[in-house]
Amino acid sequence: MRMRIVDAFTDRPFAGNPAGVLLLDDVFPDDDWLQNVAMEVNHAETAFAHPLPQGGEVDWALRWFTPVAEVAMCGHATLATAHVLHTTGAHEGPVRFATRSGVLIATPAPDGSITLDFPTAPLTPAEIPAGVAEALGAEPVAAFDTGPNVGDLLVQLADEKTVLGLAPDHKALGAFSARGIIATARADAPSRGYDFVSRCFFPNVGIDEDPVTGSAHTALAPHWSARLGRDDLTGLQASRRTGLVRTGLRGERTLLTGRAVTVIEGELHA
Distance of CA 109 to CAs 5, 46, 94, 163, 257, Å? 22, 24, 9, 32, 10
The residues pairing with 70 across neighbouring beta strands, listed in sequence order, are 65
The residue type of 88 is: T
Q: What does the DSSP 8-state code read for residue 74?
A: -
Phi, psi dihedral angles at 198 (to 5 degrees): -155, 160
Alpha-carbon distance 124 to 126, whole Å? Answer: 6
Is 209 in the active site? no
Q: Is 166 exposed, middle or buried (0-12, 13-18, 19+ CB in 10 A)?
A: middle
Catalytic residue chosen out of the listed positions 40, 45, 70, 134: 45
* Element containing residue 183 per DSSP (H, E): strand 180-186
Catalytic positions, written as ranges: 45
